[in-house]
Structures are given as structure tokens and as C-alpha cells.
Amino acid sequence: MAKKKRTPQEQSADPAAQEMIIRAEELGIGTAFTRADEMPPCNIGGAGMCCKICGMGPCRLTKEGQTGVCGATIDTIQARNLTRAIAAGAAAHSDHGRDMAFTLKAAANGEAEGYYIRDVAKLRNVASYYDIEIEGRSPEEIADELADLYIAQFGQQKGEIIPAIRAPEKRKKIWKEQGVWPRGIDRETVEALHRTHVGDDQDAEHILQHAVKTALADGWGGSMIATDVSDILFGTPAPILGQANLGVLKEDMVNVVVHGHEPTLSQMIVAASQDPEIIEYAKKAGAKGVQLSGICCTANEILMRQGIPAAGNFLHQELSILTGAVEAMVVDVQCIMQALVGLAENFHTKIITTSPKVKIKGATHIEFDEHKALTIAKQILKESIDNYKNRGKTQIPSDKEDLIPGFSHEYINYMLGGSYRSSFRPLNDAVMSGRIRGVAAIVGCNNPRTQQDWLHTYVTRELLKQDVLVVETGCGAIASAKLGYLLGEAGLDKVGPGLKEVCEAIGIPPVLHMGSCVDNTRILTVLTQVVEEGGLGDDIDQVPAVGLAPEWMSEKALAIATYCVASGAYVIFGGASPVSGMPDRMSDSDIVLKHISEGWEEIYGGKLEFIPDPDEMIKATLEHIDKKRADLGLPEYDPDRFGESGDARMLELEELPLSERREAIYGVAAD
Ligand code: SF4
Ligand code: MSK
């Protein structure tokens, strides 16, 4: 089959990315976009039909009724492959959560340089979930006990992980009945690997039941711990002005790009970059200062708390180096391409690895240690500044957009009712009246096999027109930011009439940026609070809401999807299904596909489907939302009922002569 080379416009919807893809081509440098074109995906492995878990294989099951050397059937192999991917994703999130809990412990005991309990209110709130005594105790005492409790969740052997008590009552009952309430975070991940070893669990549905348990250990365990502790140590996000895209890089400053996921070091680099000693050091090197920016979810962590600009999402990691203006890219864990080191050799950029878990051959390793974090952050910045003199020819795209990130569930609660009446009531009421048709969480990665950002932003745009309120996290949120959907009123001309009224009344953008990919737990919390508020059912599966990941690529995305489904959500992924099989050749290959959709829906009320066509994705989303509305007895969605109130109506009325205004408002002519 001839390889198809796409144009830069086909590879990315983002003009800044297109500019850098052209530059790469001119310089003869390959990127993920060109590598994706040169290497079509393997249609056997891609469809989940290859098993390589033992030395008798790899076994590729491409014929009807064929089994592996050991006799494993296609459904066993697909279930094992999917479960292993979910376990890897859950491990990545949860190990991040574990490190955050250790940092909290160190901060509580004064052993972590530069860290302290920044958000005492969140600490007290979280501690009170678990009946940790808060009255009369210092924040450090409470944090120390909370850290111990959280650290214990990872190695717990029996019982139930404790953060999951925050789920709705009905949901917890389902988990207990199904035996999927995780016992300990590490235990479920280890058991997932054990069960999928050669010669172990060989009943697809039974394997997938454990996949659910492992994913729940992530969503209601490791990830939830990561989000809680990040907020306690660095502050719960609230709206703040930021910017996104490669145009945030500065010609006259030392550009340091932080990339990965963990906020621990990046937060310290933020602090160090504002230190007079570092600014002075940069000036001596001939720069105006240090311009910090982020890629991927490290970007989201510092964007939503300090307003530090995001240079871009997953596929911007190579493109930012192609500007020639990046002195150092500092990486921690997850979603870091090995290609960065080879690419950086064409420029002066230093790739600095910092995690004890991640080294890349050819990169500079400066290991992070939370006990001397500020010292290490300054060392990294000084090395970056020293590299400024080596900068060659640069080309920084001018594209950048303003955005307002920082919609934590705490802030959403507050914004709907203010300090004294904070509640989800106005949101529930807006959904119940039909002003908001439903809610879509559009999350996840970029994938160079699709046009970067296009699928994500197309689905977002079309759902907004249908009065669907959109919440976003991860690289998807940065995609929307780059298109200007996350900026208050700027996006309101693109949304349906009812949603517009709500956004105008509350003063919010129609797309709410809720954080990094580990922060999808904030969406679980919002859904739980919506249920607790009343009027939209008594469990998450009754809420008119859908989760979408149009451009997913990571194993973490599969873990997120699975814990959302087990929490009651309908989740739609774009792109290729990792368990699709080849239906034209294998009639029995859809057992796993059916189980994660119809099977899980029967058990958990949520289902996971892979729908590559964006219009079909939108159709399925709206049908699901409308069905949930009908099941709740809510009025059928009707866009014509709204749009005649709010700011837009006020502006129209102001245009009228005074004599006509009264009639327009009250239907009664002026005397
Ligand atoms: Fe083949 Fe079975 Fe080994 Fe898998 S476990 S590689 S199907 S022999
Ligand atoms: S970084 S997991 S590409 S969202 Fe969280 Fe982005 Fe996906 Fe990585």
C-alpha cells in the first residue's frame, strides 16, 4: 500500500503547528506527524488480535476460529491486552498520586524545601471526608495524618480504598455488589498483571471485571489523591488569565518549557523563575528574564494555578523545539517523546530529565528531590540561562490566544451561588429547564494519526451549538484554548441560545477548563455533587452527560474511560478501537467490544464505545443526553424556548425607543 503523505494543513488544524511542520520539512527534520505517515499502524495489533505475553508467541489471530499456541481465543487476548493497557494507565496516574502524598508528608513535617500547605480550606475539607480531626489542630498536623491515610491506600491489602466513599450511595452499592470496590491501589494493578500472565484468567468478561476494579483504583484512588494533594500544596485552581500556543515563547527571553505531568518540580521552577537572583542572572546573559511555559499536563498544572502560559499540547512538544528559541525543555513523567533528544540536536535546546523514573539516552539528567526542590529548580534555570548564548536562528509563530482556565469543582460550586449560597442548584436548574441540554466532558490527548486538534475542536464546537455545556481537561483543553473557546464572552457567539443565557448570567466561558488529565477526578466530583443537589437522578448514570476523547492515544486515557464508565458515564472515544477485531474475518471477535458497551451498560449504567466519525460521535452524544432527559421526565430540548433573556436581550432592548421598550418587555403599551 502506498504511503500517504499529508500536507501540514491535513496534519494539524493549528496554524502555529502548520508553520512549524513546514519549518521541519525545510530543515529536513522528521516529527511525529511525518513518522505517523511513514508508518501505518499494524492492523493486527491495532485491533487487539496479537498476543505477545509469552515466548510461544507472538500469536496473531487473523482467521476465523483461530487460537494462539496455548489455545487462547481472540476474546481472551483482547481482554488481556485491554486490561494490561488499563493497568499501565492506572499505574501511571496512581504513582503520580503516591509521589504527591509523599510530598505532602514531607511538607507537613517541614522536610520539603519550598513547599507548604497553601490551601488550608481544601485540606480541612478533604480531611473531613475521612473523619480526620480538624478542630484545634494545625494544618501540618492535619496534613500529616491525611498523608499517612493516603499513603496507606497504595499498599492496602484488604478492605476498601477510602477516597471512593465520596461517590454517590447508589454507585457504591453497585461496586459492592459487583465486587469491584478496589482493596488497595497497588494490589489491583499487580493483580491485573498477574491475571493476564500466560495461563491465568481466560474468561474475557472475568478479566474485564478486574479491569474495572483496577481503573476504579485509579479514578477514585490514585488520581483523586493526586488532585487533592496538588490543590492542598499549590492551591485549588480558580479562574485566572492565561495564554496558549507557540506565540507565548519570547525572542528576547530565556525560554524554558516544562513538560510532563507532575506539578511538584514545575511549581518550584515557577517560583525560582521569579526570584531576583535568577532574573539578574538572565539579564547578565543578555536576556530580559526567563519566560516559562508548559506542554501537556505540566502546562495545565501551572497554567490553572499561576497563569503561566501553555506553549501547547502533546504534539507541540517537538514543534516548540523547532522554533529554535527554547533554551531547555524540562521533563518529568508521561507523554514525553524519545524523539525530543534527537530533534534537539539540530538546535541548541537542552533536554533535561528530572524524574528518578525517567531517563532518556542523550538527555541531561538533573534529578528532582523534594527535600531540596528550590535549589534544584534554580540549578535547572541557571543551566538554561547559560545556554541562551548558543541560540541560533529562530522562528516563533505569532499565534497565541488568551484563555481563562481554573474551573475546579470548588470554583464551579462557588461561582453558581457565591460565598454564602454556593451550590450546584443553578446548574441543575439550567439542565432541568433545558437551557443547558446536557454536559459533555471532552478530554484527552492529541494523536498524530488524526489532524491535530481538529476532531477535538469540531466536536466541541458542534456540541456548544446544541446547548451542551462543555468541560475539558488535558491536551483537549489546550486545543480549545488555542482556538479561543476558553475566553469568556469571546466564545459566546458560537453557542446555543440557552447555554449562552447561562454563560452570560454567571459570567463564564462555554467551555470550562478543569485541569490536567489526572484531574478528570474533578469531573467525577462535579457529577457526584450534581446528583447530591437533586433533580437529576440519584446516581451518575442518570445525569444527561457524556465523556468524549476524540483524539486519545495514551493508556491513561483507557484507564480514565473505564473508571468513568464504572462510575456510570457513557464514554465515546474517537480514532481506532484497540479491541475492534476484524469483523469481516472473525465472527466471534466482538465479545469484548460488546461487553465493554452493552455488558458494562447493563451492570454499571455506563458504556465505552469507539466511534471514529465525528458526526456520529455528536449524534450519539445528543441521543444519549436526550434519552437521559426523557428518563428523568425533563422537558424535551427545544432551542427556541431560550435566547430572549440575558445580556443579548438587554442589548436589543436598549436599541428600542423608550416608548416601545415597555411593550417589548411587558407586552403592555406605554400610556
Ligand atoms: Fe500465544 Fe498464548 Fe503465548 Fe499469547 S499466551 S503469545 S496466545 S501462546
Ligand atoms: S498529557 S495523557 S497526551 S491528555 Fe496529560 Fe495530554 Fe493525553 Fe498526555
Three-state SS letters, 448-513: CCCCECHHHHHHHHHHHHCCEEEEECHHHHHHHHHCCCCCHHHHHHHCCHHHHHHHHHHCCCCEEE
pLDDT score recorded for residue 640 = 84
In angstroms, what is the span from residue 48 Cα to ligand 1's centroid?
13
pLDDT score recorded for residue 508 = 85
Do both 481 and 380 map to the same domain? no
Do both 348 and 263 map to the same domain? yes
To test the pocket of ligand 2, the residue of 447, 475, 522 to mutate (highest count of ligand atoms within 8 Å of its CB) is: 475
CA 85 – CA 251 distance, rounded (Å)? 41
Do both 431 and 459 map to the same domain? yes
Q: What is the pLDDT of residues 244-265, one digit of tens each?
A: 999 999 999 999 999 999 999 9
For ligand 2, whether the C-beta of 515 sits within 6 Å is no
pLDDT score recorded for residue 1 = 47
pLDDT score recorded for residue 404 = 93
Low-confidence ranges of the chain (pLDDT < 70): 1-3, 416-422, 489-491, 582-589, 644-654, 658-659, 661-671
Do both 419 and 273 map to the same domain? no
Do both 634 and 487 map to the same domain? yes
pLDDT score recorded for residue 438 = 96
Q: What share of the chain is helix, strand, coil (3-state, %, to 5)?
A: 55, 10, 40
- Nearest-atom number in ligand 2 for the CA of 300 is 5
Residue 668 lies in a domain: no
For ligand 2, whether the C-beta of 336 sits within 6 Å is no
In angstroms, what is the span from residue 45 Cα to ligand 1's centroid?
14
- Nearest-atom number in ligand 1 for the CA of 55 is 3
For ligand 2, whether the C-beta of 333 sits within 6 Å is no
253 close to 290: Cβ distance less than 8 angstroms: yes
Residue 584 lies in a domain: no
CA 314 – CA 40 distance, rounded (Å)? 20
Strands (E), 151-231: none
Point out the domain boundary residue: 390, 422, 446.
390
For ligand 2, whether the C-beta of 570 sits within 6 Å is no
428 close to 534: Cβ distance less than 8 angstroms: yes
Point out the domain boundary residue: 334, 366, 390.
390
pLDDT score recorded for residue 483 = 86
**Which residue has the least CA distance to atom 8 on ligand 2?**
335
Residue 597 lies in a domain: no
Point out the domain boundary residue: 209, 234, 259.
234
**Which residue has the least CA distance to atom 3 on ligand 2?**
445
CA 344 – CA 322 distance, rounded (Å)? 8
CA 482 – CA 484 distance, rounded (Å)? 6
Q: Which residues line ligand 1 (CB under 6 A)?
A: 51-54, 56-59, 68-70, 72, 77, 198
Residue 345 lies in a domain: yes
Among 229, 53, 64, which residue's Cα sits nearest to residue 150? 229
Per-residue buried b or exposed e for 556-594, using 16+ beta carbons within 10 Å of the residue's own CB: bbbbbbbbbbbbbbbbbbbbbbbbbbbeeebeebbbbbe
In angstroms, what is the span from residue 46 Cα to ligand 1's centroid?
17
* CATH code, domain with 198: 1.20.1270.30
Do both 330 and 475 map to the same domain? no
308 close to 242: Cβ distance less than 8 angstroms: yes
- Nearest-atom number in ligand 1 for the CA of 57 is 6
Residue 290 lies in a domain: yes
Question: What is the residue range of 319's domain?
Answer: 242-390
Among 111, 75, 52, 207, which residue's Cα sits nearest to residue 579? 75
Do both 81 and 210 map to the same domain? yes
Among 97, 308, 69, which residue's Cα sits nearest to residue 185? 97
This prediction's pTM = 0.94
pLDDT score recorded for residue 589 = 54
In angstroms, what is the span from residue 385 Cα to ligand 2's centroid?
28
Task: State the total domains in the chain.
Answer: 4
In angstroms, what is the span from residue 610 Cα to ligand 1's centroid?
26
Do both 359 and 378 map to the same domain? yes
Do both 200 and 324 map to the same domain? no
Residue 602 lies in a domain: no
Do both 184 and 292 map to the same domain? no
Q: What is the pLDDT of residues 591-642, one digit of tens each?
A: 999 999 999 999 999 999 999 999 999 999 999 999 999 999 999 998 887 7
Q: Which ligand is nearest to the CA of 196?
A: 1
- Nearest-atom number in ligand 2 for the CA of 557 is 2
- Nearest-atom number in ligand 1 for the CA of 51 is 4
pLDDT score recorded for residue 644 = 63
In angstroms, what is the span from residue 210 Cα to ligand 1's centroid?
20
CA angle (479, 484, 490) in 5-degree steps = 155
Do both 383 and 434 map to the same domain? no
For ligand 2, whether the C-beta of 8 sits within 6 Å is no
pLDDT score recorded for residue 648 = 53
Do both 116 and 88 map to the same domain? yes
* CATH code, domain with 559: 3.40.50.2030
In angstroms, what is the span from residue 58 Cα to ligand 1's centroid?
6
CA 257 – CA 292 distance, rounded (Å)? 6
- Nearest-atom number in ligand 2 for the CA of 476 is 4
Residue 434 lies in a domain: yes
Q: Which ligand is nearest to the CA of 261?
A: 2
Classify residue 246 as exposed, middle or buried by CB count within 10 Å of its CB (0-12, 13-18, 19+): buried
Which residues have C-beta within 8 Å of that of residue 130, sequence separation ≥ 6?
146, 149, 162, 165
In angstroms, what is the span from residue 520 Cα to ligand 2's centroid?
12
Residue 604 lies in a domain: no
The separation between CA 73 and the C-alpha centre of its own chain, rounded to angstroms, equals 34
